[in-house]
Amino acid sequence: MKIGFIGVGKMARAIIQGLKTRPDQIIISGSSLQRSKEIAAELDLDYAQSHQDLIDQVDFLILGIKPQAYQAVLSPLTFKQPVMSMAAGVTLAKLAELVGSDLPLIRIMPNMNAQILKSTTAITCNDQVNQEIKELAQAIVTSFGSCFDISETDFDTFTALAGSSPAYIYLFIEAMAKAGLAHGLPKEKALDIISQTVSASVQQLLRGHESPNDLIDKICSPGGTTIAGLLELERTGMPSAISSAISKTIEKAKTM
């Protein structure tokens, strides 16, 4: 199968690295022919002479352009194949206006972990997507991480939980590292300790045998150090602050 990319930014490049594990031919078209040649040489890919030339020869199209460029880039083009969009804020309805409502259209929302082929990605489709195309789209997504079939109405919530949350997780890790530094550990060593601990804790949770509360109860002992720290986190408002941050993220996404 020939898979084409219009636009080859950071996220598109991450997806391409995942797709290279599949037998598909990947063809790109950048902001100019010269740019297409440069990127193709850099990534060891084929390139098209123009966006329309790309569309005319591929079986499946992925859009890697910025949301604000959709109108200008897509309006002059004629499409014939399934189209996948990863642009925040570009709904399936808006995409249909630009490329045609009679085409199979797929919207995805990856996160930055696509750069290490560990993206948590939402996917939703229009009514023109049959089971075969949907399975292909899901296979493309799982080549660079995990795939969650989400209603488009829940995309803003997904964006907060999977797209923005890595920043909140990094903030938590940074705060822990600073606490380690304050109590005598070199920050680099503290950061390594916390990162390893967070990674292992997530792996434990992903086994699916126990809930977060179950695991918390296992760690806490009566009158111990952990429950003292947990009560301090609750007293200073950490749980409500996290919930509030997610709500604010969702509110902002709905206004963009």
Show Cβ contacts of residue 162 under 8 Å, excluding neighbours closer than 6 positions.
109, 111, 120, 121, 122
Has 84 been labeled as part of a binding site?
no
Distance CA 27, CA 54 (A): 7
Show Cβ contacts of residue 30 under 8 Å, excluding neighbours closer than 6 positions.
7, 8, 36, 38, 39, 47
Distance CA 52, CA 54 (A): 5
Has 9 been labeled as part of a binding site?
yes
Show Cβ contacts of residue 37 under 8 Å, excluding neighbours closer than 6 positions.
47
Q: Position 46: which residue type?
A: D
Has 11 been labeled as part of a binding site?
yes
> Helix (H, G, I), strand (E, B), or coil: what is residue 145?
strand
Has 8 been labeled as part of a binding site?
yes
Q: Which residues of 177-195 are buried (b: 16+ CB within 10 A; e: fewer)?
A: beebeeeeeeeeebbeebe
Has 7 been labeled as part of a binding site?
yes
Binding-site annotation, residues? 6-11
Q: Which residues carry a binding-site annotation for NADP(+)?
A: 6-11
